[in-house]
Amino acid sequence: MTSIYDFSVRTIDSTEVSLKEYEGKVILVVNVASKCGFTPQYTGLEELYKKYKDQGFTILAFPCNQFGRQEPGDAEEIKSFCSLTYDVTFPLFSKVDVNGKDEEPLFKHLKKEAPGLLGSKAIKWNFTKFLIGKKGEVIKRYAPKDKPEDLNQDIAKALSS
């Protein structure tokens, strides 16, 4: 069985990193964008990160420009925006496609393990979230409209198991 730890991804600075580095942590994977109606969720995501990071939780944010071209910037612009506008301190990764022929393999895996509404595999918009357990298993998929603060209970439960 494939787990999230079988994948490598690129950081926002283009360094390849194995997700095995996050083994044993509870992870929230999110496809993000700087010019989206859901962009203010960065505030809630940062609050979750600060609240739980010392308990073994992290957020992995993947910028994506597939939905309304709402992440047009390059790596430096994205890093600057996240830092200056939302004081983001959780890990940012290179811009990826989450659907289609060039989709990031990690997202293909996440969608297979946690399909969306009515079994749909496609990610419909920015700020779709996937909660990953300590063993690399996908616990739950959240819609873009699901606010970060609404994930507290699920994150706490995953951290305690």
Rg (CA), the chain: 14
Backbone angles phi, psi at 99, to 5 degrees: -140, 160
Return the beta strands (E) in the chain as ranges: 8-10, 16-18, 26-32, 57-63, 129-132, 138-142
Catalytic residues: 36
Residue 55 token pair: 């308990």
For helices 75-86 and 41-52, give the axis angle rounded to 10 degrees. Answer: 80
